[in-house]
């Protein structure tokens, strides 16, 4: 059973706008996470006045910097996608791959960290792991959908300003097969001296 979804140029543009809105949502989430790290990790450390504050604030400050960079990257990518810029499409593809890989390590780190901080309370450890896995699954699902959509050849054509015909998908495959046969045929023929 061959299921194909025909995308019109209008459908592609609507999908790109939706993915741009998703990137704005991720920018807001990254900003809120950055503010939370600042308020709950950096401000209490600065107000305590204890010795060794610089060492204890290294990771929270690094988290704030990374969170701010991600906020700007997601916001600029969302703007670029809405304006149909190919650089934004490539950045969105990178951010989706980055989100899948880094999210996996974050979930593993969160579960391992909850073992250390909540060792006697296994119900809290299990609930923390369940929440992290569910959140990661939802974000990974959305990142995979983003990747599949942005790597579609019709979406690529819109970003490059190319036009396509409704039958273009049927003509592309035989054309590529012919090129592959010619290339392979050229490799198999011995060179004449």
Tokens standing for 178?
């012919």
**Who wins on pLDDT, 108 or 148?**
148
What 8-state DSSP symbol labels residue 191?
Answer: P
Whole-number percent of the chain with pLDDT over 90: 40
Tokens standing for 23?
């990137």
Is residue 67 scored above 80 in pLDDT? yes
Q: State the residue for tokens 């810029």.
A: 85
Q: How many CB atoms lie within 10 A of CB 106?
A: 15
Domain spans of the chain, in order of start: 10-46+54-185
Tokens standing for 170?
């049927």
Secondary structure of residue 134 in the 3-state scheme:
helix
Is residue 185 scored above 90 in pLDDT? no
CA 27 to chain CA centroid, Å, is: 12
**Who wins on pLDDT, 116 or 136?**
136
Whole-number pLDDT of residue 15: 93
User: d(Cα 164, Cα 129) in Å, to the nearest integer?
Assistant: 47
Residues 6+ apart with CB under 8 A from 132: 106, 107, 110, 111
pLDDT in tens, 171-181: 454 555 545 44
Select the highest-mean-pLDDT range: 49-58, 65-74, 114-123, 166-175.
Answer: 65-74
What 8-state DSSP symbol labels residue 38?
Answer: I
Average pLDDT over residues 54-78: 91
User: d(Cα 76, Cα 90) in Å, to the nearest integer?
Assistant: 12
Whole-number pLDDT of residue 116: 66
To the question of pTM greater than 0.75 for the whole model, the response is: no
Whole-number pLDDT of residue 131: 85
- pLDDT band at 8, cuts 50/70/90? confident
């Amino acid at each position: 059973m061959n299921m194909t979804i025909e995308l019109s140029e209008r459908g592609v543009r609507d999908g790109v706008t939706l993915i741009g809105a998703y990137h704005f949502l991720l920018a807001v989430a990254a900003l809120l996470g950055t503010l939370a790290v600042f308020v709950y990790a950096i401000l209490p450390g600065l107000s305590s006045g204890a010795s060794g504050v610089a060492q204890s604030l290294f990771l929270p400050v690094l988290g704030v910097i990374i969170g701010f960079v991600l906020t700007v990257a997601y916001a600029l990518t969302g703007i670029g996608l809405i304006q149909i810029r190919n650089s934004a499409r490539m950045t969105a593809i990178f951010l989706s791959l980055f989100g899948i890989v880094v999210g996996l390590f974050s979930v593993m780190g969160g579960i391992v960290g909850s073992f250390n901080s909540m060792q006697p309370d296994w119900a809290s450890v299990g609930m923390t792991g369940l929440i992290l896995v569910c959140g990661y699954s939802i974000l990974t699902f959305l990142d995979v959908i983003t990747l599949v959509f942005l790597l579609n050849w019709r979406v690529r054509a819109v970003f490059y300003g190319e036009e396509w015909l409704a039958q273009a998908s049927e003509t592309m495959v035989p054309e590529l097969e012919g090129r592959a046969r010619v290339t392979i045929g050229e490799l198999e023929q011995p060179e004449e001296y």
